[in-house]
Amino acid sequence: MKTIWNHRSGLIEFAEQPEPALQSADDVKIKVIYSTIGIQDLRLKRQWDFYSKEGIAGYEMAGIIVATGSSAQKAGWQVGQPVSGTVVQFCGKCPACKQQQEQNCMQLRVKSGTLCPYIVWKTDQLVHLPANVSLATGCLLEPVAVVKMAYDKLQVNDADRICIFGGDFNGLILLQLIKRYTQAVVVVVENKTENKLLAQKFGADQIIDPLTDNLATELLKRSDFIGFNKTVLTTSKYPALISVAINTTARGGLFLTTVYFDRQQSIAVNSIKFFAMNLTIMSSFLYTKKVLHQTATLLAQLDLNSLIRREFSFSAALNAYKVEQEQLYPRIGIRVNDPDQLT
């Protein structure tokens, strides 16, 4: 079968690979209908980088089951069901997994990518898609689950004053969640015109452009000169924003990051200030299985279609990568297969 292959050098090209087949009783074969790419798909292969890999490209998918192993079938997985899921396979055996804290799994693995006509995944990687969720939006289950996990950690309340550094996919999903469930005030720091318009559409109270505004001054003004009680870093484009975000966090506040930078990049904070300000510094990586399944029912409540800015056929997928490299859209959709043909 024809696949999109991600080389260690960063080269993306079509490559022929064997069509996968069921190997065990808990395997499920899926015809991939829709996949998406974003900035994370442009990374070079780096040993320490979780989101970079060599092999079949892609992390996100929605598709239709075309074959099941015997135990998968007994568990309720059936041919014709629409599904999404995660390329991550948690071990299920380590202390973290046994405590339902799979995001801290000590032996997690990233399975083969999604930009190909067929994949075979384990049942514990899959999530049923509700009838009111399209395959295009269902494809975004995994990245939305990443943001929902961060949202849950933030414990947002109506009195919060929050600054999101980055109006990319993660930042815009987080903004939607905050505005949907709370009355919190949200300021978004973003420079791309298209993303600023989306932030405005999703209810941002204020938007600061770090390239044209005096960022430090504007952040002080927007936080009534006391800082934001919660700051969130969702973009890895500007490492300098780490210290900016921490310095903008109010006394007793929380700084959370959903991204990381180069392995040499440190998060530095003055120890006296950290102590005296009673700051909490936190990261949010991946999600639990519970959050992944909860996200399936959340998808229909969010505006995800607005985040898929362009769409390409599978045969034009290489052009999609070129466009993403130039525009850095929140997501670009790729139609991998015809949903009306089951096999």
335 closest CA partner among 66, 16, 6, 32? 32
Same domain, 219 and 330: no
- Is residue 291 in some structural domain? no
- Is residue 272 in some structural domain? yes
* pLDDT tens digits, one per residue of 206-251: 999 998 878 989 999 999 999 999 999 998 777 888 989 999 999 9
Amino acid (one-letter) located at 24: S
- Is residue 343 in some structural domain? no
Phi–psi pair at 211, nearest 5 degrees? -90, -25
Mean pLDDT score across all residues of the chain: 91
- Comparing 177 with 51, the larger pLDDT belongs to 177
Average pLDDT of the residues in 105-124: 92
Q: What does the pLDDT read at residue 76? A: 95
Structural domain span for residue 260: 146-283
Question: What CATH number should be reported for the domain holding residue 14?
Answer: 3.90.180.10
Q: What does the pLDDT read at residue 339? A: 72
Same domain, 237 and 277: yes
- Is residue 288 in some structural domain? no
Total structural domains within the chain: 2
Q: Is the pTM of this model over 0.85?
A: yes
- Is residue 117 in some structural domain? yes
Same domain, 256 and 308: no
Task: State the pLDDT confidence band at 262, using cuts at 50, 70 and 90.
Answer: confident
Same domain, 60 and 157: no
Same domain, 261 and 152: yes
Tokens, residue 235 = 């973009």
Same domain, 134 and 151: no
Same domain, 127 and 25: yes
